[in-house]
Amino acid sequence: MGYSDIKFLNDSRFLVTGAAGFIGSNLVETILRLGYRVRGIDNFSTGKRENIEVFFQNSNFEFMEGDIRDFDMCMKACKGIDYVLHQAAWGSVPRSIEMPLLYEEINIKGTLNMMEAARQNNVKKFVYASSSSVYGDEPNLPKKEGIEGNLLSPYALTKRTNEEYSKLYKEIYNLDTYGLRYFNVFGKRQDPEGPYAAVIPKFIKLLLNNERPIINGDGRQSRDFTYIENVIEANLKACKASHEAAGQAFNIAYGKREYLIDVYHELCNLLGKNIEPIFGPERLGDIKHSHADISKAKELLGYNPDWDFGKGIRAAIEWYKENL
């Protein structure tokens, strides 16, 4: 279970893009703890310097401040690297609806820059963040790779495009690419601030401050909330996956779903709060229900998540209590 038994060559070098972000900084922390060398790149457009400051004193960590839209920077970042864990992107469905051109630049062009730089530098494995948003309006549950609907946002389109490029890079250039379709990841260092903040950290912060959170819609929407440790496991196992599994995308989740209103009540219960939420309008582009079939990732990546929602939410709450 987990990733503690995954072994790489002692001198293996990892590149984490978006290293100062929520998922990126957790990947950096784990890989350094396992004893390997990590190069991080971030331009701090959404990532935070305080997420990685603690790593600067580690001699196995090297940091480059740079933008994945700059191809020369991507080439420098990939030099001498064995494994690329590409997390740099702009998230948020609602924000992508407001800023489609920026999402095209960062999420599509930036990812293509990284893929091409990885190819030219003979990187062994290119693992990148995709998203459950690629399922669009496909109504069937659980969501299964190969059965996707109409896309509902520019963000979803950027992730679907990444997957198509990934397939081509495997077929044409023989680069081992692996797309990880994350389902509602949560955990330590996830930013609770701002209009596009994810729901769990936002709820926790407001409840800790005795404020009433807003739930978009009726709260009966469901999500396959996925604790960060499961995502770290998926990234590391993708780095060890077979050549035959490359060029594909995989659902990365726990494989169960929680209704948002139930999540809210569970947070109130764990935090000892009795605060009624405010129900607001549904958000444009949102998927109503999300639940992953993770059998493909289990079979081809050896993915076997052991952090369920209950265990993850308790760990997340403890972190926020100490750090907010």
Catalytic positions, written as ranges: 155
**Radius of gyration (C-alpha) of the chain in whole angstroms:** 19
- Which residues lie across from 227 on neighbouring strands? 186
Largest Cα separation within the chain, whole Å, is 57
Query: Do residues 151 and 136 touch, judged by C-beta distance below 8 A?
Result: yes
Number of C-alpha atoms within 13 angstroms, CB side, residue 168? 9
Peptide bond between residue 142 and the one before it cis (omega within 30 degrees of 0): yes
User: With contact defined as beta carbons under 8 Å apart, do 151 and 237 qualify?
Assistant: no
Pairwise CA distance, residues 116 & 130, whole Å: 17
Q: Give the residue from 317, 319, 259 showing the smallest Cα distance to 291.
A: 259
Q: DSSP letter for 142, please.
A: S
d(CA 21, CA 49): 9
First CA to last CA across the chain, in angstroms? 31
Q: How many residues does the chain have?
A: 324
Cα–Cα distance for residue pair 167/106, rounded to 1 Å: 19
**What is 166-222 written as a DSSP string?**
HHHHHHHH--EEEEEEE-SEE-TT----STT--HHHHHHHHHHTT-PPEEETTS--E
The whole-angstrom separation of Cα 105 and Cα 203 is 31
